[in-house]
Amino acid sequence: MSDSFGCVILAAGKGTRLKLNDPKPLVPLMGRRLVDYAIESLRDFMVDNAGNGEVNLVIGHEKEKVQEHSKKSANKFNVEVGFSIQEKQLGTAHALKCYFDQNEKASKFDYTVIMCADTPLISGEILSELYEALKKDNLDGVAASFETKDPTGLGRIIRCDKGFRIVEHKDANKDELLINEVNSGMYIVKTSYITKHLSNIKSENAAGEFYLTDLFQENSNVKPRVFENEKTFLGVNDLAQLEQIENLLRRRKARSLRDAGVRFIDSRHVYIDEDVEVGFGSLIYPSVNLFGSTVIGKDSIIEIGSILTDSKVGANTVIKAYSTLEEAIVGDEAAIGPYARLRPKADVGSKSKIGNFVEIKKSKLAEGVKVSHLSYVGDAEIGEDVNIGCGFITCNYDGANKHITKIGKGSFIGSDTQMIAPVTLGEECYVASGSTINQDIPSGGFAIARGRQVTKEGMARKFIKKK
Ligand code: UD1
Ligand code: MG
């Protein structure tokens, strides 16, 4: 039978050193929140080991916000989630006790996996390696450790002939302070071992806290498992560490896209969030920002300085330099920009062409539409193959309400025209340049709405003053 896992994320602390408004588990990182990384890794760990179980977060500081987000996150990663409340942060052992006291199921899982919310580089694979170490020697518990030049603030691993102990920095004597092997704060322990020992933990130490690390004792059937790469365990405790971790994650993201066939001109200067997808054969220029849930299809090109947030771009499409897309959709074989701005609910069809200084908001453009220069299209429905000239404006707002402009397929709209919405044009209409349209036009209609030209021969001289 497969093993079952109670996975606990300790996330009740405040994270004071971060100097951010968000509670620590909700610190933004690569388009996600910090806690999402722990939830995803625990999910991967359970899947890798064909195990079943549940993720439980011990929360305290701003618990409502943390709970609300974590539920959504667990849903996204397809894991069962529960919560334990720790009103006062009396230490990591007390946090774990809150979990066992408040969840009947907790003591029924074969193993308890414990990690913190603030170490986003720990992957499911690392958790699996830790679990392997436990299984190999049939241990009651393992702690992940690593060696570091600067162990300041971290618990020191005291290896014994049998078992090991962890001494917190504050409690360590001179000799213990010299030890470079430290505790990462990630553990896998037989649940029966925890329930036997957890309530014996005392708070007689320098911090007056209940230390979870006291679970591990000399002569017990426990071992540390030392990991090579100390970066894996980097935690987010201040803004410098947040930036360092973000840089590592960004490089990792670019690497994984490159491995999947995405070409970069210089991947050191792109900013791509964790959940962004880019198709095989696409090319990304420097200074490109792909944020949130953005998805780019195959063989597309995203040119320098473009910023795409929560947007979807098809295959074989070019987003030219310095364009901005926000919650926008662009089809296949389209060309956008340079300097185009697609705002929320801009939905641009395949083979369309949106040129420089064109702004599109909440509008659906069918296949093959051209809006090539200096225009505003808002609250509009534009049919197939419509050609819109330079300097076109939908006057969609009357000061109180927004109104819709509809232009039927195959229409031609001359330059410098305005549509005073609500207004509807049928199919294959023709609007003369310089027109201000405020009445519907039936299919096949031609409209011209501008003052007639008056020409007076020879009169120019009167206005051109000679020096
Ligand atoms: C802990 C370990 C230390 C290890 C270090 C690695 C203990 C006693 N020490 O120290 O050996 O080297 O992590 O980073 O465990 N938390 C709660 N409730 C509490 C206290 C903490 O939920 O009452 C949560 C925090 O939000 C955090 C995690 O537990 O996510 C770790 O707590 P923290 O105070 O950062 O422990 P450290 O002093 O760093
Ligand atoms: Mg810490």
Q: What is the pLDDT of residues 32-77, one digit of tens each?
A: 999 999 999 999 999 999 889 999 999 999 999 999 999 999 999 9
Residue 175 lies in a domain: yes
Last residue of a domain, one of 203, 233, 263: 233
**Domain with 221 in it: what CATH number?**
3.90.550.10
Over residues 1-23, mean pLDDT = 88
**Domain with 342 in it: what CATH number?**
2.160.10.10
403-425 pLDDT per residue, tens: 999 999 999 999 999 999 999 99
Q: Is the dihedral of CA 90, 95, 99, 101 positive or negative?
A: negative
Over residues 372-393, mean pLDDT = 98
Q: Is the dihedral of CA 197, 203, 205, 206 positive or negative?
A: positive
Q: Is the CB of 56 under 6 A from ligand 1?
A: no
What is the predicted pLDDT for the residue at 285? 98
Residue among 37, 90, 92 whose CB has most ligand 1 atoms within 8 A, to mutate: 92
**What values do phi and psi take at 419, rounded to 5?**
-110, 115
Q: Is the dihedral of CA 435, 437, 439, 441 positive or negative?
A: positive
Q: Where is 283: in which H helix or E strand?
A: strand 283-284
Q: Is the CB of 84 under 6 A from ligand 1?
A: no
Over residues 252-259, mean pLDDT = 97
Q: Are residues 410 and 330 in the same domain?
A: yes
Q: Is the dihedral of CA 87, 196, 104, 65 positive or negative?
A: positive
What DSSP character marks residue 163? B
Cα 101 to its chain centre, rounded Å, is 34
- Domain extent for 276: 239-447
β-pair type (289-291, 271-272): parallel
Residue 463 lies in a domain: no
Q: Are residues 119 and 182 in the same domain?
A: yes
Residue 454 lies in a domain: no
What is the predicted pLDDT for the residue at 358? 98
Amino acid at 330: V
Does pLDDT of 220 surpass 90? yes
Q: Are residues 156 and 245 in the same domain?
A: no
Q: Is the dihedral of CA 48, 54, 60, 63 positive or negative?
A: positive
Lowest mean pLDDT among 7-21, 109-123, 255-269, 376-390: 7-21
What is the predicted pLDDT for the residue at 467? 67
305 conformational bin, left if phi > 0, alpha if psi -120 to 50, beta if neither: left
Amino acid at 132: E
When the pLDDT of each residue in the chain is averaged and rounded to a whole number, the result is 96
Angle of helix 34-48 versus helix 124-136 axis, rounded to 10 = 50
**Nearest-CA residue for atom 3 of ligand 1:** 155
94-143 pLDDT per residue, tens: 999 999 999 999 999 999 999 999 999 999 999 999 999 999 999 999 99
CB-CB contact of 296 with 315 (8 Å): no
List 393's β-bridge partners, or say none.
376, 418
Residue 73 lies in a domain: yes
Atom of ligand 1 nearest to the CA of 60: 22
Residue 402 lies in a domain: yes
**What values do phi and psi take at 464, rounded to 5?**
-85, 105
List 298's β-bridge partners, or say none.
none
Q: Are residues 272 and 333 in the same domain?
A: yes
Last residue of a domain, one of 233, 253, 268: 233
Residue 99 lies in a domain: yes
Could you give the C-alpha distances from 256 to 123, 203, 259, 280, 393, in angstroms and in order? Answer: 15, 45, 5, 12, 43
Residue 459 lies in a domain: no
Q: Is the dihedral of CA 85, 88, 89, 93 positive or negative?
A: negative
What is the predicted pLDDT for the residue at 19? 82
Q: Is the CB of 91 under 6 A from ligand 1?
A: yes
Is 69 assigned a catalytic role?
no
Amino acid at 407: I
Q: Is the CB of 89 under 6 A from ligand 1?
A: yes
Total domains present in the chain: 2
Q: Is the CB of 94 under 6 A from ligand 1?
A: yes
Over residues 17-46, mean pLDDT = 94
From edge to edge, which strands make up the β-sheet containing 405-407? 277-278, 295-296, 312-313, 329-330, 346-348, 363-365, 380-382, 405-407, 423-425
**Nearest-CA residue for atom 13 of ligand 1:** 185
Over residues 348-373, mean pLDDT = 98
Q: Is the CB of 121 under 6 A from ligand 1?
A: no
Last residue of a domain, one of 233, 268, 291: 233
Cα 89 to its chain centre, rounded Å, is 29
Q: Are residues 248 and 225 in the same domain?
A: no
pLDDT bucket at 20, cuts 50 / 70 / 90: confident
What is the predicted pLDDT for the residue at 421? 97
β-pair type (324-326, 370-378): unpaired
Rg over CA atoms, the chain: 31
Q: Are residues 45 and 71 in the same domain?
A: yes
177-203 pLDDT per residue, tens: 999 999 999 999 999 999 999 999 999
Ligand number nearest to the C-alpha of 117: 1
Return d(Cα 302, Cα 323) in angstroms, integer: 9
Q: Are residues 87 and 155 in the same domain?
A: yes
pLDDT bucket at 329, cuts 50 / 70 / 90: very high
Q: Are residues 346 and 427 in the same domain?
A: yes
Q: Are residues 91 and 31 in the same domain?
A: yes
Q: Are residues 249 and 338 in the same domain?
A: yes
CB-CB contact of 197 with 187 (8 Å): no
Q: Is the dihedral of CA 404, 429, 374, 270 positive or negative?
A: positive
Catalytic residue among 61, 169, 269, 373: 373
pLDDT bucket at 18, cuts 50 / 70 / 90: confident
The residue with tokens 């030209």 is 453
Q: Are residues 423 and 305 in the same domain?
A: yes
Cα 40 to its chain centre, rounded Å, is 13
Residue 143 lies in a domain: yes
Over residues 435-448, mean pLDDT = 98
Ligand number nearest to the C-alpha of 115: 1
Q: Are residues 294 and 264 in the same domain?
A: yes
What is the predicted pLDDT for the residue at 15? 77
